[in-house]
Amino acid sequence: MRPAAHSNTPPPTDRDDLKTLKTLLPYLWSFKWRVLFALSCLVSAKIAGVITPLFLKDIVDQLSIPATLLAVPVLALVGYGFARLVSSVLGELRDAIFARVIQGAVRSVARSVFAHLFRLSLRFHLERQTGGMSRDIERGTKGIGFLLNFTVFNILPTLVEIALVLGILLYRYNVWFAVVTLSTIAIYIAFTLIITEWRTVFRRTMNDLDSKANSKAVDALINYETVKYFGNERYETERYDGNLASWERSAIKNQVSLSMLNAGQGVIIATGVTLIMWLAARGVVSGEMTVGDVVLVATFITQLWAPLHFLGFVYREIKHSLADMERMFTLLNVGAEVDDHPAAQTLAAKQVAIRFDCIGFGYDAKRQILHDVSFDIPAGHTVAVVGASGAGKSTLSRLLFRFYDVGSGGIRFNGTDIRELTQDSLRAHIGIVPQDTVLFNDSIYYNIAYGRPGASREEVIEAAKSAHIHDFVMSLPDGYDTTVGERGLKLSGGEKQRVAIARTLLKNPPVLIFDEATSALDSRTEKAIQTELFDIAANRTTLIIAHRLSTIADADTIIVMEGGRIIERGHHRQLLTAGGRYAEMWRLQQESELVEG
């Protein structure tokens, strides 16, 4: 019994932007020297930018003197041009230096999230929805790029410029210029912050609905054949459209609130600009200021208000980016259900003896799957497990791979509890051919070579021959370069199973698990490959989970399970002679094969 599926990424319980930024900081600090150099370029560029209007004021004042004393203000013009050049060059240098920081941080975070997902337990991956989770990761990584870009290229430069301009206004002019400028900025930022916080709920709702719509769309497309079998195209379209309708309503609310925010910001800026220009005009009339001073103040206002107006947009988007990043970083907070012990040993063995010792286990605490299961698989021996569906057979293979930890008892490899071994080394010693083989949407060669990515082409082809699939592959127009389609849908069930067998043979592990490995093969192909499988298993510790009893008659030991318990064990002939459950299953299958024949 598997746990029920839920949506995708676990939603964060409380918004904590500071925590999100702290999570990002280590990824940035790995580029600390680039960050510091970019920040020094930023400050220097802004100083040069603020000095530029001072040269412009001198030019205007010198050109305003009586015509008899008119002369070209060469020094002021050179200073003006040089300041603009320095501001521009340092700004571009800052962008070039920081580009490596942004892209490197995005790459590092994406890699960390991707690697963490593979560390999580099978239970998490059975519950997740791929479409929604992939969209969360995509938005989160884009959010990092946006946050870093606009923080370093817009917010910090604007704050530095505001500080410099306020200092100049206080030093050169009436205190009211600085008071009005600072008050306008404070009101603008407060208004933007309050309204943006109110609007954030609309964006988060949009993201949730977008993820749900995408999850359902991906799920329906992956199950295309099932949708067609039941003629449910209209149902799936209407279900998808229902999610889009909810998203549409949220998107409209988001846009209306955005228009309200922009209008309010426009009113605040217009009021501030009018007051400052009135103060400047009054200063000229009273003789306290020159025309150059008015040009200086006007230039400062233009330099401040333009980025400040953009700052409202940037702040809104940064809040959205933080919300997107928060959802992605929530994945990193999901703990691994199965983790390595700090002192875990690395398994390195050419032969492995396995012992299941009084195993008790349930996927859910409310329902126990295995009850006191004990048996041995000596090194190099083959043990087969049979039983009706739901008897707990496939659960044994999941426990061997340590996708879950046992509830009680223990599984031992060469006498060592597998919980004391590293998961990587444990799984490197096990190969499996599952009942439901899922292939990558790549070439046949890639899917076989996946068993041991460093294998040579000759070794891959040899594995294919051993799995009796080489001749089939060579009959295809593209041979081993043939693409198998998503989840291997371009191949038949038997062809996929043989690719899976070849992949496991290439891995060449000391422990083999065949979980209904030939269930998708026709009788002729099954007989052709069965002898090969037993030859391969001859010197390996092998667990066969089987439905067709004819495939396991030569196993060293056969275990019969029912209701999560072992009810019989022995050799094929011993079990037939005993006349118990195995003998009954054998008789029923023989009769069924006679009828089919």
Distance of CA 287 to the CA centre of its chain: 65
Which has the minimum average pLDDT: 156-170, 342-356, 392-406, 493-507? Answer: 156-170
State the DSSP string of 199-261.
HHHHHHHHHHHHHHHHHHHHHHHHTHHHHHHTT-HHHHHHHHHHHHHHHHHHHHHHHHHHHHH
3-state DSSP of 351-392: CCCEEEEEEEECCECCECCEEEEEEEECCCCEEEEEECCCCC
pLDDT score of 457: 92
Top mean pLDDT of 51-55, 222-226, 397-401 is at: 397-401
Q: How many CB atoms lie within 10 A of CB 43?
A: 15
Least confident among 45-59, 91-105, 297-311, 516-530: 516-530
Percent pLDDT > 90 in the chain is 10
Q: Decide: residue 37, CB within 10 A, 0-12 exposed, 13-18 middle, 19+ buried.
A: middle
Angle at 438 between CA 434 and CA 442, to 5 degrees: 135
Q: 508 by DSSP, 3-state: which? A: coil
- Going edge to edge, which strands form the sheet with 541-545? 430-433, 511-515, 541-545, 382-387, 557-562, 565-570
Mean pLDDT of 272-291: 80
Check whether domain 17-332 has CATH 1.20.1560.10, yes or no: yes
- Regarding the domain with residue range 439-508, which homologous superfamily does it belong to in the CATH classification? P-loop containing nucleotide triphosphate hydrolases (3.40.50.300)
Mean pLDDT of 332-360: 85
| Mean pLDDT of all residues in 117-123 | 75
3-state secondary structure of 345: strand
**Residue 472 or residue 365, greater confidence:** 472
pLDDT at 169: 79
Mean pLDDT along residues 97-122:
80
Query: How far separated are the first and last CA of the chain, in Å rounded?
Result: 35
Rounded mean pLDDT, 56-63? 69
Are the C-beta atoms of residues 453 and 503 closer than 8 Å to each other?
A: no
Mean pLDDT of 173-185: 84
Mean pLDDT of the residues in the chain: 80
Phi-psi region of 409 (alpha: psi -120 to 50; beta: other; left: phi over 0): left
Token look-up 């087969």 returns 384
- Range with the poorest average pLDDT among 205-219, 238-252, 389-403, 498-512: 205-219
Same fold, 17-332 and 439-508: no
Does the pTM surpass 0.85? The reply is no
- Greater model confidence, 415 or 19: 415
The tokens 């107006």 sit on which residue?
A: 309
Burial 94-113 (b: 16+ CB within 10 A, else e): bbebbeebbeebbebbbebb
* Contact status, residue 370 vs residue 359, Cβ threshold 8 Å: yes
**What percentage of the chain's residues is helix, strand, coil (to nearest 5)?**
65, 10, 25
Give the pLDDT band of residue 460 (cuts 50, 70, 90).
very high
Do 167 and 242 form a contact (C-beta atoms < 8 A)? Answer: no
**pLDDT band for position 378 (cuts 50, 70, 90):** very high
Which of the four pLDDT bands, split at 50, 70 and 90, describes residue 130? Answer: low
pLDDT digits (tens, 9 = 90+) for 205-243: 777 777 777 877 888 888 887 888 777 888 888 888 888
Which residue is listed with tokens 């609309």? 202
Residue 355 pLDDT greater than 90, yes or no: yes
Is residue 215 within 8 A of residue 8, CB to CB? The reply is: yes
What mean pLDDT do residues 154-162 have? 78
Q: Which of 224-228, 378-382, 475-479 has the lowest mean pLDDT?
A: 224-228
Mean pLDDT, range 340-349, rounded to an integer: 86
C-beta neighbour count of 195 within 10 angstroms = 19
> What integer pLDDT is reported at residue 555 of this predicted model?
86
The whole-number pLDDT of residue 129 equals 65
If you average pLDDT over residues 450-461, what whole number do you get? 90
Delimit the domains of the chain by residue range: 17-332, 439-508
State residue 68's pLDDT score: 40
Question: Which range among 177-186, 406-415, 550-559 has the greatest average pLDDT?
Answer: 406-415
